[in-house]
Amino acid sequence: MWQLRPPKRWFNLLLFYTGWLGLGCHLLLMLYCWWHQIPYQISWWFTAVAPGLSVLWGGVPALQIQRELPVRRKSSFLS
């Protein structure tokens, strides 16, 4: 099973954090509109798809544009 964790390669890292920034701004805008009783767009979920995909493309190894190298464990005599 895959785990969503911050990547190490620069482009994957850029996608990952840009997506989280987009989702955070989207959430703040929704809360602002709710607080001030401003009507928010009907298809709000559609605008949340792009940052969500950006987070997935950066964080899920199967979807990453730049392949992450597998982490090598240090071998020791006892293990």
> Residue 28's pLDDT is what?
93
Backbone φ and ψ for 60, nearest 5 degrees, come out as -90, 120
- For residue 2, is pLDDT > 90? no
In a domain, residue 76? The reply is no
pLDDT in tens, 25-54: 988 988 999 999 998 777 777 778 888 888
Tens of pLDDT along 4-23?
778 888 888 898 899 999 99
* pLDDT attached to residue 24: 93
CA 78 to the chain's CA centroid: 38
**Among 70, 62, 50, 68, which residue's Cα sits nearest to residue 3?**
62
Domain count, the chain: 1
Q: Which domain holds residue 51?
A: 10-61
Whether residue 43 is contained in a domain is answered as: yes
At residue 78, the pLDDT reads: 60
pLDDT at 31: 92
